[in-house]
Structure 1
Amino acid sequence: MNVKNCENQEKSTVALTVEVSGAEFEAAIVKAYQKMRKKINVPGFRPGKAPQKIIEGMYGAEVFYEEAVNIAMPDAYEAAVAEKKLEVVGYPQVELEGELTKDGFTFKAIVPVYPEVKLGEYKGLKAPKTPAKVSAADVDDRLKEMAERNTRLVSADREAKNGDVAVIDFEGFLDGTPFDGGKGENHNLELGTGSFVPGFEEQVVGMKAGDEKDVNITFPADYTPELAGKDVVFKVKLHEVKEKDVPAMDDEFAKDVSEFDTLKELKADIKKKITEERENAAQQTFEDNLMQQVAENITADVPDAMVDAQARRFLDNFKNQIQQQGIPYDQYLKMTGMDESKLLEDAKEPALRQVRLDLALAAIIKEEKIEISDEDVENEYKTMAEKYSIELENVKKYLPAEQIKDQLSTRKAIDLVTESATATAPKAEDDEEKPAKKSAKKSAEDDEEKPAKKTAAKKTAKAEDGEEKPAKKPAAKKTAKKTEE
């Protein structure tokens, strides 16, 4: 193998021109013969027993060339990358150059490499930080949630009203015939929640235990096709009316739901916890804003391969989220009219931000010479084991020391940025909640690794994790071929 040329190109790619000698190609041809001979029929020889020269005489010397190229090229590529000490972050595009003869061949590989990163400002930055404010109403809302969880249902001998739970039997009829999915027995229906077909709950209000009634409704136009817009009759029998027995907000309630003896103490504890939650959320947002500035301030010619790999990771996470909700991924695509290529395209913008953040963190770790000792790793193992009540050896089994080092070095880099930063008062509009419609792109943005929670920043930046590792064995044919992931 001989590297004839190694030239830097835009988007952090390197053009390698590699020559494979005749001897190397001949060795690959022998391997190709050994691999292919059982599939080649030669009269007078059992399958796989025909000599190489006999096969070449029948089919031509080139019969094994293509397979031999696919055998020789990966090794030559890997050796060239090692010789030039390239830090590869994706799959190469390869193509043959010139004639393919018994004397060998030459190929060109366009290789995406880890970019040179120049840090911009990362100390002394400013970002808004919302102060943690907790009102009496916030505490009361949390108390109401606790009361709701401790509410009992008791039988009520009266007419049903909104807020009650009606225990009913029902069966639906369309043109006098029962329809699938329209029947239930001893069903607990909370009135006023709108959980049943529109118009149904309102007609149950006013019924008492033992009452039977025909409930007439019209299904919505966007309901299942067989019932959409149809008039149906539900025969309903009400067995029992249950009302909520909400506990009184007093000292006894505090004793029942907490370790405190008085409601005043419970309220103080709730206020403290809400304050901590909001302070943590504000600190996380503060850090996110700072690290986004750091990412924007770097100068780096980011290769497309790194962005594509991150977009793919985002999409894989999105698939898992969809499937955890019980929706098959293929079905989701049909429901939304989307295709995977569009989802990947939507994910590229947040993927680029994530890659720049990874590059920035790795650059800070290098610039500040951040190192993690074995003692630091051991202490982190112990902390995690205690926090999650897991045996120490099991934590070590599932979390490699290198991953812990990456986590801790990333945390130190973020702390360095944060501790030197100044928190400013947020603008009025920053405090307003802005609802956003969930989309594939939004999901990718949500999946962007938050700096404070990132793991293995270096590995992510260098695309060394899992299946995203760059291919070391590119295949090639006689014509130009792009190695695919």
Structure 2
Amino acid sequence: MNVKSKEKQENSAIELVIEVGAEEFEAAVDKVYRKNRKNIAVPGFRKGHAPRKIIEGMYGSGVFYEDAIDELYPNAYAQAVEQEGLDPVAYPKVEVLEVGKDGFTFKALVTVKPEYKIGEYKGLAASKEEVNITDEDVENELKPFIQRATRLVNVEREAKEGDTVLIDFEGFDNGVPFEGGKGENYALELGSHSFIPGFEEGVVGLKPGDEKDLDVTFPEDYSPELAGKAVVFKIKVHEVKEPQAPVVDDEFAKDVSEFDTLEEFRKDLAEKLRDRREHAAEHAFEDAVTDALIGVLEVELPEAMVDFRADQVLQEYADRFERQGLPFQQYLQMTGQTLDAMKEQAKAAAEHQIKSEMALDAVAEAERLEISEEELADEYKSLAEQYGMEAEQVKAAAPAEDVKTTLLRRKAMGVVKENVKAVKPKKAAKKSAKKDVEEEGASAEEAPKKKTASRAKKGTSKVGEAE
């Protein structure tokens, strides 16, 4: 491999012209021939036994060139960027300039990290929610425990909203039963709106033993065979049950918790709710600080860099669903989303990630922050304990430089937060698309995983493709 030329281009790109010599190319061509000859039929020879010269004579001397180039160029590209001291941040755009028996020459457009600088990062303003826990909040925390302890008791009276009725029902369309319209001993909670409009309302007022023909009309947006149709449901009520809530006292607290008194139980619920809200508020505050910090970052991101990171974000997102047993394509179908729409969301998340990393790196550099070996060892120990792994396993999965980078950015965020002006939020804002995708994607501080060689450095896009 030899780098013939290196030229700076616009949009943070460097153009390399790289040549691979005859000896190396010949070895690759022969390797490709030996790999593929079993699939090539040549008259007069057993399949897989035709000499290379015969095959080249039939199909042309360059019959194996394309595969040989694909075999060689990723490694040649990786060696070239290392030799030139480049740090690619995107897939290269590769174009073969010439090829022959003396080797081949290709051009690689390498996107590198753009220059950037941070403005005044001390004294930034960021919104921070004040956490307060009210008696009503605690009552709402109690409700699920009360609901789980609530019993359904048979009553001999007319059914009302909130009751659960045990019914038989069958639907008829012009006197003919229709598929899916029959149920026996079905427990229906009145007011749950689990049936079509008018059904539950028609059951209100019936008593155990009552029968009724109920006229209802299916909604226009129902399944095509029933949409908009007027039908009759024959209903028979077997039982009417009303919910009977428990008495919320010390005995209730003993039954549903580890505490002996209701006061202790309520106090514990309040403390746990406060912890959750403070944790959420701190995360929201850190997001606000990050956004403010990005606001004083001066950088122009190359589109290729954002696209490359967006592919990573989307892949992490897909991998998470795959680990949960849900193919990503199936998830898209279930949610009615398209891959293009997800890619746009991922691009927003990617741009935010890149800028936040650059901003924190700039702060770390300005503050001359460092990570000691002791701090690194403590972080490995913490990760090992957190994920139930041996320290050596963690070190193998999470390279030291990556862990140090994470710790440096954490320190940098600490510096910014120490000097930030916390202000009361004006109103709750909807989460942006970038945050939705970032939260779904794997974060930098999740379980450590084996880091593979960067595709940006290897240049594993197909020759001729602009990744």
TM-score (norm 2): 0.84
Report the equivalent of 1:51. 51
Report the equivalent of 2:349. 350
Q: Does the CA-based 8 Å contact 2:253-2:260 persist in structure 1?
A: yes
- Picking from 382, 387, 395, the partner of 1:380 is 382
Q: Does 1:247 align with 2:246?
A: yes
Report the equivalent of 2:172. 173
Q: Does 1:447 align with 2:444?
A: no
CA 1:193–1:48: 2 relative to 1, 3 Å: closer
1: CA distance, partners of 2:344 / 2:63: 41
Secondary structure of residue in 1 paired with 2:119? coil
Q: Does the CA-based 8 Å contact 2:169-2:233 persist in structure 1?
A: yes
Secondary structure of residue in 2 paired with 1:131? coil
Secondary structure of residue in 1 paired with 2:7? strand
2: CA distance, partners of 1:444 / 1:21: 46
Task: Give the Å deviation of 1:304.
Answer: 2.8
Matched letter for residue 375 of structure 1: A
| Larger mean Cα displacement after TM superposition, 174-183 or 227-236 | 174-183
* 1:7-26 to 2 correspondences below 5 Å: 7-26=7-26
Task: Give the Å deviation of 1:28.
Answer: 3.1
1: CA distance, partners of 2:335 / 2:290: 36
Report the equivalent of 1:370. 371
Secondary structure of residue in 1 paired with 2:379? helix
- Picking from 397, 401, 404, the partner of 1:400 is 397
Report the equivalent of 1:388. none
Task: Give the Å deviation of 1:162.
Answer: 0.7
* 1:260-339 to 2 correspondences below 5 Å: 260-316=259-315, 329=329, 332=332, 336=336, 339=338
Q: Does the CA-based 8 Å contact 2:151-2:243 persist in structure 1?
A: yes
Q: Does 1:155 align with 2:130?
A: no
Matched letter for residue 455 of structure 1: A
Q: Does the CA-based 8 Å contact 2:332-2:339 persist in structure 1?
A: no
Secondary structure of residue in 2 paired with 1:111? strand
CA 1:317–1:146: 2 relative to 1, 3 Å: farther
* 1:113-132 to 2 correspondences below 5 Å: 113-132=112-131
Matched letter for residue 446 of structure 1: D
1: CA distance, partners of 2:260 / 2:64: 86
Matched letter for residue 368 of structure 1: L
Identity of aligned residues (%): 45
- Picking from 434, 442, 456, the partner of 1:470 is 456
Secondary structure of residue in 1 paired with 2:382? helix
Deviation digits for residues 276-297 of structure 1 (CA, Å, limit 9, x no counterpart): 3322222211111101222333
Report the equivalent of 1:194. 193
Deviation digits for residues 186-229 of structure 1 (CA, Å, limit 9, x no counterpart): 22111112121110111111111122222211001111111110
* 1:75-94 to 2 correspondences below 5 Å: 75-94=75-94
Deviation digits for residues 372-399 of structure 1 (CA, Å, limit 9, x no counterpart): 63530354146526xxxxx554995799
2: CA distance, partners of 1:470 / 1:80: 13
TM-score (norm 1): 0.82
Report the equivalent of 2:70. 70
1: CA distance, partners of 2:246 / 2:195: 28
Report the equivalent of 1:227. 226
Q: Does 1:482 align with 2:465?
A: yes
Unpaired runs of 5+ residues, structure 1, are 386-390, 437-441
| Larger mean Cα displacement after TM superposition, 139-148 or 208-217 | 139-148
Task: Give the Å deviation of 1:156.
Answer: 1.4
CA 1:289–1:6: 2 relative to 1, 3 Å: same
Matched letter for residue 255 of structure 2: D
Deviation digits for residues 229-268 of structure 1 (CA, Å, limit 9, x no counterpart): 0111112121111111112333333333334444344333
CA 1:49–1:266: 2 relative to 1, 3 Å: closer
1: CA distance, partners of 2:176 / 2:453: 56
Deviation digits for residues 124-144 of structure 1 (CA, Å, limit 9, x no counterpart): 322121211222222223233
2: CA distance, partners of 1:52 / 1:321: 46
CA 1:145–1:101: 2 relative to 1, 3 Å: closer
What number of residue pairs does the alignment pair up?
460
Deviation digits for residues 354-413 of structure 1 (CA, Å, limit 9, x no counterpart): 22123334444555223463530354146526xxxxx55499579935476665454333
Cα RMSD, aligned residues only: 3.6
Matched letter for residue 185 of structure 2: N
Q: Does the CA-based 8 Å contact 1:94-1:474 persist in structure 2?
A: no
CA 1:216–1:404: 2 relative to 1, 3 Å: farther
CA 1:187–1:249: 2 relative to 1, 3 Å: same
CA 1:191–1:313: 2 relative to 1, 3 Å: farther
| Larger mean Cα displacement after TM superposition, 257-266 or 320-329 | 320-329
